[in-house]
Structure 1
């Protein structure tokens, strides 16, 4: 295994002025998202009240006046006027809900793009893919280090919304193939919809439902058929036996001289039991991380030899949905990492923040295996 030279090691992650500006912008964005969600909840409650009133008016005697709330006051209105007022109020409320929903979607898109930029995607790459392809939960850009060539076959493990599959498809060109694996029907449906937006059709771009904790289906994944395998913050989510098996399967399907490029989380030391058992830490791609030695052992056991792991020394706090005062906004545990093969699934403007300092426990790492012997 080849490691960074001693002089390249840095004891502490330096927080530059640019880093602090990025952190500040994330805090402002998350504060805005929380405000939008609170207002949306209020409007949805008002909508439910109007729906109840609509039902009551349908059953009411048309000759009897209706007690109707206008502002903070209740007034008696003729039934016909109450109906017209109700229709106008419903129309206005639906318009406000639609506007705020659009604002929430803009926030989520902005958050996804900021995280993507922080972890290695360029503005040009993000502009070239549909909204929803990247969900702001990756920990790197494997296509930037995979050295993809025209005509190659590339496989993305845990493809999610398809971001890395689409970027890989551009690099391998029309004579190559980009394939995504995911166990989640929702993620596969999202990825296939995004592929249609780009005009990517099989066999150039395909998606396959499969669990990374089980042997890859054969066909389509026969021995020695893939030039390069990539993955983006997914392996850490697999159980221990799954982490070992997926490396063996990757080795099986790679061609001689095939390559593996992984972006993932690596534990600085054995994680305490309370962290490994913390769902939010697991959902945040922390609780399932293994040490460098364990990761390396899985690779060597599978058959890989020349392995390079680089600590990218990133501040992982940009991942999580904390505001400046430490409070969180949006999302729930179930909206973080919903499946073990698609990485972290759709967040609401960021992942839930674990109750530990992630920078103390894990590092964002890039694993590069230049060739399968």
Structure 2
């Protein structure tokens, strides 16, 4: 009897990826697995057909041969000409392979037996604004787990070595079957490591790692800001049984500054301005991170006006572009006036009374608006 096309058996197209093939197989296996068909021989043969199609189409070599030569390319009876079919495989083996990813592993599952990479670590680094803008080399002390020098990370006493776990045969997992399902669990004998240490190393007590505080030099580039991270590859915790170490991430936090506020590459600051300079104009000194500079104030400057000083901000750590310094002037009311000073101000005030439209346009506009508001209420 001629065999059906494997793609047709699984109900997938010839361009289907492995994920689609597995998905189709799971659906059919749930329906036709012998545990669910109550010994129906015809359905059992159908399941074998489904199983054979799956085994061929998920094997790269077999699938290539099948696509080129059809069933003859995977016929085990054709010797070197074929790559072997899938009719003789055990139901449980292939079924465990497909469903193993759901329950933590699959056939030949050695994922847990492989030594695990060390954990990544984080170090919070506080800096002043000046340090962040200019960059700095800093030394940090990081408590971590490092590879034991005595046993070179194996966990076994010098001169001895770990042995393969007899329970899981080094896989780190054991399989438990309950009817239709196969469940992978961490081996209870070796705790998933796949190896047993009969004679543990004394300094690390068989763990292969010891606690130590490392001193590291960190080059902080100019222009970093709060939230930026500096990655130190391999400076995290040592891995288990000689596996690679994790990474250390230095998290930057820039402290608040007494004068400047940072927004991206720009700096902001408030500059107090005297009444006379605001009215007449002039020059004032303003601070920058590189020292004091002169800022020209135009006559009749109002409080809150922003003055932009180009390229006096922060150089970007990523693009190299330099931001600006933006100065907000805040008019400062004179205090502790003498009698003479008060008299001068009173005389000045009298000289402009009645000419608000000319000297205080905002004041006139405001009170005109207030008058209209109340007029509208009474009408």
| TM bracket, shorter-chain basis | under 0.3
User: Who wins on radius of gyration, i.e. which is larger?
Assistant: 2
TM-score computed with the length of structure 1 as normaliser: 0.23
| Structure with the bigger percentage of helix | 1
Bigger strand share: 2
